[in-house]
Amino acid sequence: MRTSKGETTPGSRWPMALARVLAFSVPAWLLCLDDAVAEDGFLNPTTLLKLGIDLGIITFAVGMAIACLRAIKRARMREATAAAEAERLALSENTLETVLAAEPQALLTLGETAKPDLLVSNLPGNFGVPRDGSRLLAFEQWLDAASAADLEGAMKELAEHGEPFNLMLRTKRGRYVEADGRTAGHTLVLKVRDIGGQRLELAELAAKHKELEEQVAALRSLLDEAKKNQRDNAEDQALDTHFRSFDRLATAFAVFDSTQRLAHYNQAYVDLWQLDATWLDTRPRDGEILDRLRQARRLEERAEYRAWKTEWLSAYGTGKQVEDRWHLPDGSMLHVIADANSDGGVTYLYENVTEHIALESRYNALSQVQRETLDTLREGVAVFGSNGRLRLYNSAFATIWCLTPNLLDAEPHVDEVTAWCSLLYNEPDAWEHTRAIVTSIVAERRPYEGQFDRPDGMVLAYAALPLPDGGTLLTYSDITDSKRAERALIEKNEALETTDRLKSDFVSHVSYELRTPLNSMLGFAQMLVEPAFGPLTDKQREYVDDILASGTTLRAIVDDILDLATIDAGSLRLQLAPVRVSSIIEAARHGLEERLKQNDVELEIEIEDGVDEVVADASRVTQILYNLLSNAIGFSEPNSIARLICRRDGAMLAFSVEDEGPGIPEDFHDTVFDRFESRTQGSRHRGAGLGLSIVKSLAELHGGTVALESAAGQGSRFTVLLPLTQDMETPDMEAGPMRATSAG
């Protein structure tokens, strides 16, 4: 075996070496064997020993060569397997990268080597999130100080104790992001993504609240420092300057000394209470300000105002802090903090929390409406948060899985919930899939659905939908009744198909079995009327004519049944070809001449000018016209007229057959094309009710239609529409199974 350059491969050297060993060793061994025979005919022992050693060496060499060949073959198989696995892993990696890139996020892993691996980073540039792993871990470079400290502490807890976290952070560019940290084996996973909706509003409110708290803390610190400096009159002017700097704060504050007189305030205080700054500069007492606010109807009405006022002013000299919420007449709400100072005075802080309370109220109302809405659903619903814990569920979910509210209200982890549910449906793979979509932050999160067939007979349709905030919505619908009905319908349909197939087989078999004796009977009857077999009496001739007439009618019925059975079986083929319309009509008329004479009915034929050819099966179109005309003749009175009109109707050729018979009542129109539907309507017509059914089947097989226009006492008109042209690429057309019972 050689390579493209003519060099031998390692695997081909062993067979060649083996051949050389055998080529040189075997002749030598045979020569030695010849030398080992002494003149007296006995073998030399020394030579025999040498021959045995050589033979052992040859055997060992052959065995080693075979072993090496097998080892080379196994190595090549392992190499091919490894190459296929590498290709599969590369494809899986490309798919994972595509899925990760579909969501704006920054996903970083940190292994035992402490070297960060940034899997994806496609957040918009205005977020300020670095797109380098090392820079992303330098939290203080792209997060504000507080957020950087929070994330640093959370990452430390994750690394030391494996404690997952979910934080709302603010970047230095003023954008809010969500950071999610978890462990995957010995690897730390950090995911940073955008937030929106109510979560963004809550994050902004929390940041604003924190900022206000910091302002209040700074204000208190400054006030404490200012009070310490009040003893030095030389610094009074500097203190006033400090207080004036707080006019820019949105939080209103006022400072009262130990005599309950106003010492300091800011512009926000004036704007909040709409008081005259000149009057405030007179240093009114705290109680006087409350009275004025009450008279101006800016305080909420209280039944015991004096008692409330006394209790509120009792904070002076206590050294304690009192908090309350005031509902003002204009609908706003204040969070009021009264902080008693060590020198006997009180500092008031007024924070307008109207928007915060309204948002919280809307959020609670929305949650309540959501829960009440879910409780009205028949489907079981469960919502899990990004931390894998149950956040929301409805009563249907608890009922379906036989769980109590005490268990579910404790916000259990998805592992606990699936463990409880597995008592009713023990399929580890299904529950592992559920846990994966709820808790995984690396694998792709896509909606999925399926079906549970529980051992207790309940059938559940389930679906999982990942939510934008990292949570997961699970739904379970009880489809037991619909599934049972579906299975019953399937079984019934199979039974009907089997019955219909047996019926068709029976009809076809019986028809074929009837045809042979029927043909024999007709043949013998025709022989009897021949002069060669002797004359018949009038009575005998009448009987033979009846036999021929009845036999011919019966054979026509059998032929019709066979045609319908052939159509049902899908084996009727149309021999399409261009044919003259006049020849088709003439063939049908010729077959009905005897009946026209017997029934004393005149046939009028009208062919529109320009109607010449049609692409169709000539014999089947003749059969259509024959059946329609036979039906018209059968229902016509003596001395009446039947008409056949042929005309164009767009791209179709229309055959209309009219009679002057008793007509067909409107309530019979829907069943007139059913099989074995035959009504005399007071006429002499008798039949098996198969002619019109065959007409409908053959017309539809050509791609056409048949319609009825009739009313009681006004005659009937049957119109068949057939395409003027057909696809001639295929030599014939095969009939498929009929969709319903054909016309009769």
- Kindly report the CATH number that applies to the domain delimited by 377-478: 3.30.450.20
Q: Are 653 and 722 in contact (CB under 8 A)?
A: yes
Coil, helix or strand for 633? Answer: helix
Q: Which residue has tokens 């500092």? A: 347
DSSP state of 233: G
Q: Which has the higher per-residue pLDDT, 691 or 333?
A: 333
**Measured between alpha carbons, how far is residue 452 from residues 80, 427, 447, 493 in Å?**
40, 9, 17, 25
Q: Which has the higher per-residue pLDDT, 28 or 202?
A: 202
Q: Is the pLDDT of residue 35 over 60?
A: no
b/e code 704-715 from CB counts within 10 Å (16+ = b): bebebebeeeeb
Q: Is the pLDDT of residue 498 over 60?
A: yes
Q: Is the pLDDT of residue 567 over 80?
A: no
Q: What is the pLDDT of residues 93-143, one digit of tens each?
A: 666 666 666 677 888 888 776 678 777 778 887 788 888 878 888 888 888
Tokens (6 digits) for 105: 């996020």
Residue 636 sits at φ, ψ, to 5 deg, of: -90, 145
Q: Over range 398-406, report the average pLDDT.
A: 91
- Kindly report the CATH number that applies to the domain delimited by 570-734: 3.30.565.10
- pLDDT above 70 as % of the chain: 81
**pLDDT number for residue 102:** 63
Q: What is the pLDDT of residues 266-278, one digit of tens each?
A: 888 888 899 998 9
Q: Is the pLDDT of residue 245 over 70?
A: no
Residue 654 sits at φ, ψ, to 5 deg, of: -105, 130
Q: Are 581 and 616 in contact (CB under 8 A)?
A: no
Q: Are 617 and 575 in contact (CB under 8 A)?
A: yes
Banded model confidence at residue 421, pLDDT cuts 50, 70, 90: very high
**pLDDT number for residue 493:** 87
Q: Is the pLDDT of residue 425 over 80?
A: yes
Q: Which H or E run contains 558?
A: helix 538-569
Q: Is the pLDDT of residue 47 over 80?
A: no
Q: Which H or E run contains 170?
A: strand 165-170
**pLDDT number for residue 561:** 72
Banded model confidence at residue 720, pLDDT cuts 50, 70, 90: very high
Q: Are 351 and 214 in contact (CB under 8 A)?
A: no
Q: How high is the mean pLDDT of the chain?
A: 80
Q: What is the pLDDT of residues 179-230, one digit of tens each?
A: 889 887 778 888 888 877 677 777 777 777 777 777 777 777 777 666 665 5
Q: Which H or E run contains 615?
A: strand 613-616
Long-range Cβ pairs for the range 395-402 (8 Å, 24+):
396/476, 397/476, 400/458, 400/460, 400/476, 400/478, 401/476
Coil, helix or strand for 701? Answer: helix
Beta bridge partners of 462: 450, 476
**pLDDT number for residue 212:** 73
**pLDDT number for residue 606:** 93
Q: Is the pLDDT of residue 441 over 70?
A: no
Q: Which has the higher per-residue pLDDT, 507 or 406?
A: 406
Banded model confidence at residue 741, pLDDT cuts 50, 70, 90: very low
Q: Is the pLDDT of residue 92 over 80?
A: no
Q: Is the pLDDT of residue 687 over 70?
A: no
Q: Which has the higher per-residue pLDDT, 440 or 740?
A: 440
Q: Are 127 and 196 in contact (CB under 8 A)?
A: no
- pLDDT above 90 as % of the chain: 15
**pLDDT number for residue 289:** 92
Nearest to 38 by CA among 51, 53, 26, 48: 48
Q: What is the pLDDT of residues 458-473, one digit of tens each?
A: 999 999 888 887 888 8
Q: What is the pLDDT of residues 62-88, one digit of tens each?
A: 888 888 888 888 888 888 888 887 777
Sheet holding 652-659, edge to edge: 601-607, 640-649, 652-659, 716-723, 705-710
The letter for the amino acid at 391 is R
Banded model confidence at residue 437, pLDDT cuts 50, 70, 90: confident
Q: Is the pLDDT of residue 14 over 60?
A: no
Q: Are 657 and 667 in contact (CB under 8 A)?
A: no
Q: Is the pLDDT of residue 484 over 50?
A: yes
Q: Is the pLDDT of residue 630 over 80?
A: yes
Q: Parallel, antiparallel, or unpaired for β 613-616 and 577-580?
A: antiparallel
Q: Over range 152-156, report the average pLDDT.
A: 89
Residue 318 sits at φ, ψ, to 5 deg, of: -90, -25
C-alpha to C-alpha distance for 136 and 126, rounded to whole angstroms = 15
Fold of 103-195: Beta-Lactamase (3.30.450)
- Kindly report the CATH number that applies to the domain delimited by 205-358: 3.30.450.20
Q: What is the pLDDT of residues 319-369, one digit of tens each?
A: 888 889 888 888 888 999 998 888 888 999 998 888 888 888 887 787 777
Question: Which residues make Cβ contacts (< 8 Å) with residue 393, sequence separation at least 6?
Answer: 374, 380, 381, 382, 383, 408
Q: Over range 444-450, report the average pLDDT.
A: 78
Q: How many CA atoms lie within 13 A of 51 on its CB side?
A: 18
